[in-house]
Structure 1
Amino acid sequence: MGTNLDGFLHDIAQSLRSRGDEPLEQLLQSQRSSFPGIWQDQDLAALTTKVTSQHITTVLDILQYGVDISAVEMPPAAAEFARRAAELGTPLSELLRSDRLSHVDTLKMLYGETVRLTSDPELRDEAAMRLISGTFEYVDRLAEQVVAAYEEARDRRLQRRLTVINEASRRIGTTLDTARTARELAEVGTNHLADFVTVDLLEAVLGDEGMRAEPDPLALRRIAQQSVLEGHPESAVETGQTHSFPEGSESAQTIITGHPLRYRPASPDTQPWPAGLPGGHRAARDFDVHSMLMVPLWARGSPLGLAQFFRHRTADPFDDDDLLLAQEITSRAAVHIDNARRYTLERSTSLTLQRSLLPLHGPQGHESVETAARYVPCGSLAGVGGDWYDVIPLSGARVALVIGDVVGRGLRAAATMGRLRTAVRTLADIDLMPDELLAHLNDVVIRLQHEEEQDADEISATCLYMIYDPISQSCSMAGAGHVAPAVVSPAAGKGDTPQHAVDFPKLSVGPPLGLGGLPFEMTQFEVPEGSLLVLFTDGLIENRTRDVDTGLALLRDVLVQPASTLQSTCDHVLSALQPDRPSDDVALLVARTRALDAEHVGTLDLPSDPEVVAEARDYATGRLAAWGLEDMAFTTELMVSELVTNAIRYGKAPIQLRMILQYTLTCEVSDASSTAPHLRRAHTFDEGGRGLFLVAQLADHWGTRHSREGKVIWAEQSLPA
Structure 2
Amino acid sequence: MTASVFARSIPAVASGVEAFLSEVSRGLRPRADQLVDAVVDILGSELPELWRSEDLATGVRLAVSGHVAAVLDLNEHGLDVTEVKALPAGIEVARRFARHGVPINKLLRSYRLGHAGLLRQMCDEAARLTSDTELISATVITLGAQSFEYIDRASEQAVLAYQEERDQWLQRRLIVINEAGTRIGTTLDITRTAEELATVGTDHFADLVTVDLLDSVFQEEGVEPVPVPPALRRVAQQSIWDGCPESEVGTGHKHIFPEDSVPARALATGQPQRHRITTSDVHSILLVPLQARGNTLGLVQFMRHRPTDPFDDDDLLLANEIASRAAVSIDNARRYTHERLTALTLQRSLLQQQVPEQPAVETACRYLPSGSRAGVGGDWYDVIPLSGARVALVVGDVVGHGLHASATMGRLRTAVRAFADIDLIPDELLTHLDDVVIRLEREEARGTDEISATCLYAVYDPVSRLCSLASAGHVLPALVTPPTRSGNGPTSCHVEFPQLPIGPPLGLGGLPFETVQFEVPEGSLLVLYTDGLIESRARDVDTGLTLLREVLAQAPTSLEDTCDRLLSALLPSRPSDDIALLIARTRTLDTDQVAAWDLPSDPAIVSEARTHASDQLSAWGLEDMAFTTELMVSELVTNAIRYGKPPISLRMILHSTLTCEVADTSSTAPHLRRARTFDENGRGLLLVAQLAGNWGTRHTREGKVIWAEQRLPAAGMPLRRI
- Asked if Structure 1 and Structure 2 have the same fold, meaning a TM-score greater than 0.5 normalized by the shorter chain, the answer is yes
Asked if 1 retains the 8 angstrom alpha-carbon contact of 2:217 and 2:223, the reply is no
Looking at structure 2, the residues matched to 708 and 214 of structure 1 have their Cα atoms a distance apart, in angstroms, of 67
Q: Which residue of 1 aligns with 2:190?
A: 178
| Match status 1:704 vs 2:697 | yes
- Opposite residue 371 of structure 2, the aligned amino acid is G
Moved more, 194-203 or 500-509: 500-509
Q: Choose the corresponding residue for 1:263, options 255, 262, 275.
A: 275
| Match status 1:640 vs 2:661 | no
| 1:360 Cα deviation from its structure 2 partner | 2.6
Looking at structure 2, the residues matched to 220 and 120 of structure 1 have their Cα atoms a distance apart, in angstroms, of 75
Matching of residues 537-556 of structure 1 within 5 Å: 537-556=530-549
For residues 599-618 of structure 1, give each alpha carbon's deviation from its aligned partner in whole angstroms, at most 9, with x where no partner exists: 11111222222221111111
Pair 232,645 (structure 1): closer, same or farther in 2 beyond 3 Å: farther
Asked if 2 retains the 8 angstrom alpha-carbon contact of 1:387 and 1:405, the reply is yes
Looking at structure 2, the residues matched to 39 and 481 of structure 1 have their Cα atoms a distance apart, in angstroms, of 76
Moved more, 223-232 or 54-63: 54-63
For 2:388, what is the secondary structure of its paired residue? coil
| 1:314 Cα deviation from its structure 2 partner | 3.2
For residues 73-115 of structure 1, give each alpha carbon's deviation from its aligned partner in whole angstroms, at most 9, with x where no partner exists: 5456534431232123233344235435655676688779889
Q: Which residue of 2 aligns with 1:296?
A: 289
| 1:237 Cα deviation from its structure 2 partner | 1.1
Looking at structure 2, the residues matched to 400 and 410 of structure 1 have their Cα atoms a distance apart, in angstroms, of 27
- Opposite residue 674 of structure 2, the aligned amino acid is R
Structure 2 unaligned regions, length at least 5: 1-11, 715-722
| Match status 1:399 vs 2:391 | yes
- Opposite residue 271 of structure 2, the aligned amino acid is H
Q: Which residue of 2 aligns with 1:605?
A: 598
CA RMSD in angstroms, aligned pairs only: 3.1
For residues 593-647 of structure 1, give each alpha carbon's deviation from its aligned partner in whole angstroms, at most 9, with x where no partner exists: 1112321111122222222111111111011001100000011111111111111
Asked if 1 retains the 8 angstrom alpha-carbon contact of 2:225 and 2:296, the reply is no
- Opposite residue 662 of structure 2, the aligned amino acid is V
For residues 158-195 of structure 1, give each alpha carbon's deviation from its aligned partner in whole angstroms, at most 9, with x where no partner exists: 34434433443333223222222222222222232222
Moved more, 91-100 or 659-668: 91-100
Q: Which residue of 2 aligns with 1:458?
A: 450
Q: Choose the corresponding residue for 1:307, options 286, 300, 305.
A: 300
Q: Give the percent of matched residue pairs that are identical in Structure 1 and Structure 2.
A: 62
For residues 544-569 of structure 1, give each alpha carbon's deviation from its aligned partner in whole angstroms, at most 9, with x where no partner exists: 23322332233223322231222222
| 1:27 Cα deviation from its structure 2 partner | 7.0
Q: Choose the corresponding residue for 2:373, options 376, 381, 385.
A: 381
| Match status 1:333 vs 2:326 | yes
Q: Which residue of 1 aligns with 2:7?
A: none
Q: Choose the corresponding residue for 2:100, options 85, 88, 91.
A: 88
| Match status 1:206 vs 2:218 | yes
- Opposite residue 431 of structure 1, the aligned amino acid is D
Looking at structure 2, the residues matched to 18 and 571 of structure 1 have their Cα atoms a distance apart, in angstroms, of 90
Q: Which residue of 1 aligns with 2:405?
A: 413
Q: Choose the corresponding residue for 2:436, options 436, 444, 451.
A: 444
| 1:460 Cα deviation from its structure 2 partner | 0.6
Q: Choose the corresponding residue for 1:473, options 462, 465, 469.
A: 465
For 1:715, what is the secondary structure of its paired residue? strand
Matching of residues 60-209 of structure 1 within 5 Å: 60-67=72-79, 69=81, 72=84, 74=86, 78-100=90-112, 127=139, 130-209=142-221
Pair 125,247 (structure 1): closer, same or farther in 2 beyond 3 Å: closer
For residues 189-229 of structure 1, give each alpha carbon's deviation from its aligned partner in whole angstroms, at most 9, with x where no partner exists: 22322222211111110221437999977111111112233
- Opposite residue 327 of structure 1, the aligned amino acid is N
Looking at structure 2, the residues matched to 709 and 229 of structure 1 have their Cα atoms a distance apart, in angstroms, of 81
Looking at structure 2, the residues matched to 574 and 162 of structure 1 have their Cα atoms a distance apart, in angstroms, of 45
Q: Which residue of 1 aligns with 2:611?
A: 618
Q: Which residue of 1 aligns with 2:266?
A: 254
| Match status 1:576 vs 2:569 | yes
Q: How many residues align?
A: 700
| 1:476 Cα deviation from its structure 2 partner | 0.9
Length-normalised TM-score, structure 1:
0.89
Pair 372,79 (structure 1): closer, same or farther in 2 beyond 3 Å: same
Q: Choose the corresponding residue for 1:690, options 683, 686, 700.
A: 683
Looking at structure 2, the residues matched to 213 and 371 of structure 1 have their Cα atoms a distance apart, in angstroms, of 49
For residues 535-587 of structure 1, give each alpha carbon's deviation from its aligned partner in whole angstroms, at most 9, with x where no partner exists: 11111111223322332233223322231222222223222222222222221
Length-normalised TM-score, structure 2:
0.89
For 1:657, what is the secondary structure of its paired residue? strand
| Match status 1:628 vs 2:616 | no
Q: Which residue of 2 aligns with 1:272?
A: none
Pair 392,216 (structure 1): closer, same or farther in 2 beyond 3 Å: farther
Looking at structure 2, the residues matched to 719 and 32 of structure 1 have their Cα atoms a distance apart, in angstroms, of 102
| 1:514 Cα deviation from its structure 2 partner | 0.7
For 2:387, what is the secondary structure of its paired residue? coil
Looking at structure 1, the residues matched to 317 and 202 of structure 2 have their Cα atoms a distance apart, in angstroms, of 16
Q: Which residue of 2 aligns with 1:652?
A: 645
Structure 1 unaligned regions, length at least 5: 269-283
Moved more, 533-542 or 556-565: 556-565
Looking at structure 2, the residues matched to 389 and 680 of structure 1 have their Cα atoms a distance apart, in angstroms, of 37
- Opposite residue 194 of structure 1, the aligned amino acid is A
Looking at structure 1, the residues matched to 379 and 196 of structure 2 have their Cα atoms a distance apart, in angstroms, of 34
Q: Choose the corresponding residue for 2:475, options 480, 483, 488.
A: 483
Q: Which residue of 1 aligns with 2:6?
A: none
For 1:408, what is the secondary structure of its paired residue? strand
| 1:399 Cα deviation from its structure 2 partner | 0.7
For residues 382-440 of structure 1, give each alpha carbon's deviation from its aligned partner in whole angstroms, at most 9, with x where no partner exists: 21221111111100111111111110011211111111111100110000010000000
Q: Which residue of 2 aligns with 1:218?
A: 230
Q: Which residue of 2 aligns with 1:370?
A: 362
Moved more, 416-425 or 93-102: 93-102
| Match status 1:533 vs 2:526 | yes
Moved more, 33-42 or 625-634: 33-42
- Opposite residue 491 of structure 1, the aligned amino acid is P
Asked if 2 retains the 8 angstrom alpha-carbon contact of 1:69 and 1:134, the reply is yes
Asked if 2 retains the 8 angstrom alpha-carbon contact of 1:435 and 1:478, the reply is yes
Asked if 1 retains the 8 angstrom alpha-carbon contact of 2:375 and 2:401, the reply is yes
Asked if 2 retains the 8 angstrom alpha-carbon contact of 1:256 and 1:303, the reply is no
For 1:609, what is the secondary structure of its paired residue? coil
Looking at structure 2, the residues matched to 503 and 105 of structure 1 have their Cα atoms a distance apart, in angstroms, of 98
For 2:625, what is the secondary structure of its paired residue? helix
For 1:500, what is the secondary structure of its paired residue? strand
For 1:387, what is the secondary structure of its paired residue? strand
Moved more, 505-514 or 327-336: 327-336
For 1:447, what is the secondary structure of its paired residue? helix
Looking at structure 2, the residues matched to 481 and 628 of structure 1 have their Cα atoms a distance apart, in angstroms, of 48
Asked if 1 retains the 8 angstrom alpha-carbon contact of 2:285 and 2:303, the reply is yes
Q: Choose the corresponding residue for 1:239, options 244, 251, 273.
A: 251
Q: Choose the corresponding residue for 1:58, options 66, 70, 82.
A: 70
Q: Which residue of 1 aligns with 2:335?
A: 342
| 1:446 Cα deviation from its structure 2 partner | 0.7
Q: Which residue of 2 aligns with 1:274?
A: none
| Match status 1:521 vs 2:514 | yes
Looking at structure 2, the residues matched to 545 and 75 of structure 1 have their Cα atoms a distance apart, in angstroms, of 63
Looking at structure 2, the residues matched to 416 and 630 of structure 1 have their Cα atoms a distance apart, in angstroms, of 48
Q: Choose the corresponding residue for 1:390, options 376, 382, 385.
A: 382
Looking at structure 2, the residues matched to 33 and 216 of structure 1 have their Cα atoms a distance apart, in angstroms, of 43
| 1:493 Cα deviation from its structure 2 partner | 3.8
Q: Which residue of 2 aligns with 1:228?
A: 240
